Amino acid sequence: MTGEVTVPGDKSISHRALIFAAVADGRSIARNWLDAGVTARMVDCIRALGIEVEVEPTGSGRATLTVHGRGLYGLTAPDQPLFCGGSATTMRLMMGLLATQPFTSTLDGHEGLRRRPMERIAQPLRQMGAKIETTDGHAPLSITGGRLQAIDYDMPVASAQLQTALILATLGAEGQMTLHQPGPARDHTLRMLRHQGIDIQGEDQGIITFCTEKTALKPLNFTMPGDMSSAAFLMTAALTVPHSEILIQGVNTNHTRAGLLEILQAMGGPIARQNEQSQAGEPVADLSIKAGRLNGVEVKGEIVVRMIDEFPIFTVAALHAHGKTVVRDAAELRLKESDRIAVVIEEMGKLGAKITPHPDGFEIDGPQPLTGAVVRSHRDHRLAMSLAVAGLSAAGSTVVEDAQELNESFPGFIATLQSLGAKIEADE
């Protein structure tokens, strides 16, 4: 694999840009916005609340997003349930936004999303004054919002989705909000709100304090950096396919998202950052990657949160690494689109991988040669792409069934790999 490529806009920032632009005053524009299944559901939800949203595709899962914001209280009650598909981010962020609104809304999604826990978001929103009814802690759920009261809240986990939902709710709350965060979480929301005129303090100490009363959000106008989570598949492919050398341009290297990058470098992976700069308050760099020997590593503690979406593809790197790789403190993986510990072990096992499970992680003794086989995605987009990358270095052919989920977060995944010379194709 050789060549230079880019990846679509950052998924986390794309979600946040859309929802915060909707409640800003005036027109917001976001270029290189991620035009994919996961973001399409939020577009539908925002439009259902009466906000004009324009998505102009520019190719390969990218678009220019224009949102005509109407302020926090310019939303209108939806005339039907808001459908979030399989996107937990959409549902959890919408919970925070709808908690501020003086009407009742219903949120629902696919069967997989109905299995995802929602009480972690609902409980503090109830403390602020919202009325929320869940289905045994899950979707479908109903929210009746209104004027809320800011609270002093100890977050049980370092969750960017929880943090963002509570910040959205605070836009319609009286008083000062204080969040005690037990560890690092993605800080895209905090960076974006500073651009929109919100004063946020104490982030470095894990205590986030802010007050949004009578503060109108300024509209956004920026270009989205490339998604590190999408780049992760290309990085791992380049490291594990012999003689590869690639350059991925314009990737978001935000510290709260760069856990996998740091771990791959700690494993000995020849990865270098080039052309480092700032883009809309986010650090961005080109990533140069060459195939090379990897060594086993221990992954635990705070870095787990900073690479929580990348563990399926990290497993592929670990299977190629010399020595033992141990993952701990990652029980959250069992609450993703699938039980990612269980399904990764099951499907990689079909390729010949031997992985020892733990309640909060797994162990791998490597390197382990892989053999092509028929595997299933379990309708998990990150697992589907990880299995495809594993197949690139496996002996023989690998077939990933139910691979329609590939376009959920990385449209153009197959075409991008093909442009680098990878032997991969999609069945129609």
**3-state DSSP call for residue 271?**
strand
Q: Indicate the angle between helix axes 160-170 and 88-98, nearest 10 degrees.
A: 20
Average pLDDT over residues 346-363: 96
Question: What integer pLDDT is reported at residue 210 of this predicted model?
Answer: 80
pLDDT digits (tens, 9 = 90+) for 315-333: 999 999 999 999 999 998 8
Tell me if 10-223 shares its fold with 228-419.
yes
Question: What integer pLDDT is reported at residue 406 of this predicted model?
Answer: 80
For this structure, is 227 an active site residue? no
Q: What is each CA distance from 238 to 241, 290, 317, 344, in whole angstroms? A: 6, 6, 10, 21
Burial class (CB in 10 A: 0-12, 13-18, 19+), 418: middle
* Percent of the chain at pLDDT exceeding 90: 83
Virtual torsion, Cα 272, 274, 277, 281, nearest 10 deg:
-30
Between CA 83 and CA 80 the distance in angstroms is 9
Between CA 189 and CA 257 the distance in angstroms is 13
Q: Is the pTM of this model over 0.85?
A: yes
What are the residue boundaries of the structural domains of the chain, listed by start?
10-223, 228-419
Question: What integer pLDDT is reported at residue 261 of this predicted model?
Answer: 98
Other C-beta atoms lying within 10 Å of the C-beta of residue 176: 14
pLDDT digits (tens, 9 = 90+) for 22-68: 999 999 999 999 999 889 999 999 999 999 999 999 998 999 999 99
Question: What integer pLDDT is reported at residue 185 of this predicted model?
Answer: 84
What is residue 15's DSSP assignment?
H
CA count, 13 A, side-chain hemisphere, 322: 6
Assess whether pLDDT exceeds 90 at residue 398: yes
Residue 281: pLDDT band with limits 50, 70, 90: confident
pLDDT digits (tens, 9 = 90+) for 364-387: 999 999 999 999 999 889 999 999
DSSP conformation letters of 219-241? PPEEEPPBPHHHHHHHHHHHHHS
Spot the catalytic one: 309, 329, 339, 380.
Answer: 309
Between CA 314 and CA 386 the distance in angstroms is 8
Residue of 3, 4, 57 lying closest to 32 (CA atoms): 57
Q: CB under 8 Å to 309, separation ≥6 — which residues?
A: 229, 382
Mean pLDDT of the chain: 94
Average pLDDT over residues 210-215: 71
CA count, 13 A, side-chain hemisphere, 185: 22
Between CA 198 and CA 72 the distance in angstroms is 14
Residue of 70, 61, 58, 22 lying closest to 39 (CA atoms): 61
Residue 399: pLDDT band with limits 50, 70, 90: very high
Between CA 420 and CA 289 the distance in angstroms is 13
Question: What integer pLDDT is reported at residue 202 of this predicted model?
Answer: 67
Ramachandran quadrant class, 187 (left: phi over 0; alpha: psi -120 to 50; beta: rest): alpha
Average pLDDT over residues 75-90: 96
Burial class (CB in 10 A: 0-12, 13-18, 19+), 84: buried
Specify the CATH class of 228-419 in words.
Answer: alpha beta
pLDDT digits (tens, 9 = 90+) for 151-208: 999 999 889 999 999 999 999 899 999 999 888 788 999 999 988 988 887 666 678 8
The answer regarding whether domain 10-223 maps to CATH 1.10.10.60 reads no
Question: What integer pLDDT is reported at residue 213 of this predicted model?
Answer: 64
